[in-house]
Structure 1
């Protein structure tokens, strides 16, 4: 086998893997999209390409279903607060660990790495008791605080690695010009770290849309549900056969995530590839 033939086979194998992964990822999305336009309410009679397409399920979600818009608003509020507040706190923590030398710095970094190994669900009993003590159970505020708290150790190490790649000479030059720590952080570090900040902001925004277990445990009132819990109840309780309505509601979840992704996409590629290059 010649070298050129071997190279062509390797390229063909790579394309084959990419095509298989593309089909595996795209097929469920297309099937869900097709089901959302089917007239029937059962998945057994739904099809990938509906014979007669209809918007009845979307009209029901925004018309007869008074709670869907409430669930959508709740999720957007939690996701936006988590993305903004958590990302800002993560940047502050990462800046401190990247630029300062203090007692417990190394142990703090080890703690962040250790906490990444354990999901927040393992602390669910303690979190439940704490939220109940402060009257934040069945509250979007309590749910948001948990998201923010769990996002910090998960992403601080990643952002810290990116901050380490920014030359310290920039900090020193700014200090010579009379800049303080916060001015250096806001005018030098954050603008240069836009790629990794965009990545973290996107991940934090996506989290509340994707999470089901945590809000399922903490939220009790239907008017406080997020989309994941609300849509689950849509097919689990009174509307157990309306899987096509569930599909329509699930498709709409992608709209805000896609919008944020398109807004931040110019920063995402460099941010993902530059994240923990230095420790």
Structure 2
């Protein structure tokens, strides 16, 4: 029997994908494993990627819970993430529907201004944003983080949802509801929201992740442990110890990673389809 000929292009693709997977997963795997080591083992040379069971310990996690209000940080971050997702979805979906379907004078110019905000790093506006936060008494308040996060993520979310609406929702479907007496709010509630669920799920993952990785603004606005989120808490953990105890840091980051992984696992089937469909057309 003849052996099946191997496609060089396909083989190259598999090799590159495997290398990419190793590059992405290995640091995460090392972080999780190191969270269960004591600091002497973390700094051992040569590093031991896969330790024996006898070398694993929960002391790092116990130390974090005993010496920091980790639960408060964790719940603050979850609350900020959920509110950012919820508010940004409402704002961006209504904006996207308006830009995609409604007649608005100067709509293209307004949409262009919305997209231009995507090109400006959030930290570039930290001074005027801080002045606004002071003006509205949002300093040292989780809402001072949430509202500005929503402002940062809304342009990209609007761009994706608008493209998804134009590419995947027939205009005739909306017109048939309006002919039957339905308002634009009926169309939005019964057609737009259900049919854009794949792209909404995709941007929900990205927006949920954002508070778990953003540091600059949250550090500037949150001043006490009562309101701090995990990125700020980990930074404060560095400073309070005067040295880098990587076992403790890895244990905190490992626990911080859990909710993000859960959200991704629950919504992963929508992630690729939503991003690819929504980004084709703006």
Report if TM-score (shorter chain) is over 0.5: yes
Report the Cα distance in structure 1 between the residues aligned to 2:226 and 2:105, rounded to whole angstroms. Answer: 46
The range that moved more, 174-183 or 259-268, is 259-268
- TM-score normalized by the length of structure 1: 0.93
- Please name the residue that 1:22 is paired with: 21
Contact 2:160 2:275 in 1 (8 A): no
| Equivalent in the alignment of 1:194 | 197
Confirm or deny: 8 A CA contact 1:42 1:242 kept in the other structure. no
Q: CA separation in 2, counterparts of 1:89 and 1:220? A: 28
- Aligned-partner Cα distance in 2 for 1:204–1:241: 29
Residues 32 and 190 from structure 1, CA distance in 2 versus in 1: closer, same or farther, beyond 3 angstroms? same
Instruction: Specify the SS of the correspondent of 2:204.
Output: helix
Work out whether 1:174 is the aligned partner of 2:174: no
Distance 1:112 1:260, change over 3 A: same
Q: Give the Cα–Cα distance (whole angstroms) in 2 for the partners of residues 150 and 270 of structure 1.
A: 23
Which is further off, 260-269 or 191-200? 260-269
SS of residue matched to 1:221? coil
Instruction: Provide Cα deviations, 1:143-183, integer angstroms capped at 9, x if missing partner.
Output: 11100111111221111011112111011100111111111
164, 167, 180: which one aligns with 2:166: 164
Counterpart selection for 1:250 from 250, 253, 262: 253
2:272 alignment counterpart: 269
Q: How do residues 1-279 of structure 1 correspond to structure 2 at under 5 angstroms? A: 8-40=7-39, 43-45=42-44, 47-51=48-52, 52-62=55-65, 64-165=66-167, 166-238=169-241, 240-279=243-282
Q: In the aligned structure 2, how far is the partner of 1:154 from the partner of 1:274?
A: 14
Superposition misfits of 4+ residues, deviation over 3 angstroms: none
The answer to whether the Cα contact below 8 Å between 1:37 and 1:50 also exists between their aligned partners in 2 is no
SS at structure 2 position matched to 1:102: coil
In structure 2, do the counterparts of structure 1 residues 206 and 116 end up closer, same or farther at CA, with 3 Å as the change threshold? same
**Shift in alpha-carbon separation, 1:168–1:57, aligned structure 2, 3 A:** same
Q: 1:42·1:241 contact (CA, 8 Å) conserved in 2?
A: no
TM-score, normalization by structure 2:
0.92
Q: Distance in 2 between matches of 1:15 and 1:276?
A: 26
Q: What are the superposed Cα offsets for residues 234-270 of structure 1, whole Å, 9 maximum, x if unpaired?
A: 1232262421011011011121111111221232232
List alignment gaps of at least 5 residues for structure 2. none
Q: Deviations over 1:72-91 (max 9, x none)?
A: 01100100000111111100
Distance apart, 1:110 and its partner CA: 1.1
